Structure formats: structure tokens, C-alpha cells
Amino acid sequence: MAGRCPLRYALILLAAIVPAGAAALPFDFVYLRDIDPTILQDIRYAGSNNFVGRPLPGYEAAECVVTRDVGRRLQAAQAELRPRGLSLKMLDCYRPVRAVAEMLAWSQDGVETTAGRRYTPRIAKQDLFRLGYIAVRSSHSTGAALDLTLVDLAADNSAVFDPAKDYADCTAPAALRAPEGSVDMGTGYDCSDLKAHTAAQNLTPQQRRWRNELVTVMARQGFVNYAREWWHFSLPGAGATTYVFPIRPRR
């Protein structure tokens, strides 16, 4: 049953298709850097700067992996932005099924953490799936969904995340929350809060303009925004099968 086979069966099937240690990506997937190296990347689940607070299984490299069609569409969006001094910045692309399973396990372990509260300041983590902030079956695992933001290339984007620092939660002013090296969208990435809904009203005019800019440039390439997350876009009809192959270093 496409996209809904048990994880163990999917892993066995994948092993039969993709030899261990194979350099090439399976199916029609590509590294985005091979299509457009000018698109910035900060793949958050490959490190500790995320709501789980650690790298997720399957993220063996901080690389954006997409289907070839999605990559070409992102390249076209980037070509529109670059002459204006802007760039796309990828935060998550293809997501292995095992990473989604880890998110589910984290949400149900009953332990609230400092990292988790930065991302869910007003929602208990066990409610994230019920409220639609995380999906049991993620469209990211089909290769048809993306998380991304915009970067002003003329701005100072040098600040980096310090895991030892006590940052404010994701709804706080940009100067107080964890740095993301991007324009101010009104909340941080992966913020599970009403303020992160794309059409939220409690934004400054500039924050609203940036969100509209991102939605517009992505819509021109056929991507549809998820209303509860200003950063999440998907390509309708691009695929229904979910995949389990890991994201390995690009060679």
C-alpha cells in the first residue's frame, strides 16, 4: 500500500533497492546543491537547533534532498530573488520516515525540555500531532514538501546558534530568540503557536510583507503554503509514496 507500509517492511524493501553505502540517491531525488548551489541551507534536524534538541535519525548530513522537479522549481524561485538581493534558505526538505517516527516518540515521552518549550511556548508537546503542527505521515517524506525562509543578502547574518544560551521562545522579538540568519518573519522556524500561522494578525507591517513575499514567490512555482506554518510549502500532486532512505553526505 503506497506510502503506508510498516517501517520494517519499508526498510527491507529499500535495502533491496539501494545497496549499502551507495553514493547515488534513489528514485528521482537529487541534492539541491547540484541544481542550485546559491540557495542557502540550514538543515535544522541534522543538528541540535530544533524542538527535539538533537539530530534526528536519518539525517546523516545537513543536505537538502528534493525531487528533481522540486529542485528546478526552487532554482526558478531563486533566480527571481537573487537580482533583488534576496535568497531562499532551506530549513528542511526530504525527511526520512524514521525521523518522523522519532518526532512522534518525542511528543509522547512525557518530558518537557528547555529546547521544546522554546518552540511550543503555549502548547503541550503531546498535543502537537492532534493540533496539526506535526503529522504522523509527513509530506516531507514524499519529497514534495519543504520548509524554508528568506535571507536578505545585504544584512548581517553572521550570528550563530549557541546551544548553551538561554534564548527567549519562538514568539519573542527577533533580537531575543535564537538567531536564524534570515529576515524577521515574526516567529522563529518550527514555532508551534498561533503567531506562526501565515495569516496571523499580530505582526508588524514588515513581518507581514516578508511572509507575503515568500508565499508569492513560491506560488509562482506551483507551491502551496500550509496555513499554520509560514515556512511550510508543498507541491500538490507531486507524490504519495513515503521514503525511508537516509540523507547521506553529498559526494
CATH of domain 7-234: 3.30.1380.10
Grade residue 15 by pLDDT with cuts at 50, 70 and 90.
very low
- Using alpha carbons, select from 88, 87, 41, 34 the residue that is nearest to residue 61: 41
232 is in an annotated binding site: yes
Is the pLDDT score of 135 beyond 70?
A: yes
Out of 118-132, 141-155, 197-211, least confident range: 118-132
Q: Is 60 annotated as catalytic? A: no
Ordered by start, the domain boundaries in the chain are: 7-234
Alpha carbon distance 14, 147 (integer Å) = 25
- Report whether 197 belongs to an annotated binding site: no
pLDDT score of 65 more than 60: yes
Q: Give the whole-number percent of the chain exceeding pLDDT 70.
A: 91
179-183 contacts: CB < 8 A, separation 24 or more? 180/42, 180/149, 181/40, 181/42, 181/89, 181/151, 181/157, 182/89, 182/149, 182/150, 182/151, 182/152, 182/157, 183/149, 183/150, 183/151, 183/152, 183/155, 183/210
Point out the catalytic residue in the list 63, 102, 180, 229. Answer: 229
Does position 4 have pLDDT exceeding 50, yes or no? no
* Residue 147 assigned ligand-binding role: yes
pTM greater than 0.85 (yes/no): yes
Q: What is the pLDDT of residues 72-106, one digit of tens each?
A: 999 999 999 999 999 999 999 999 999 999 999 99
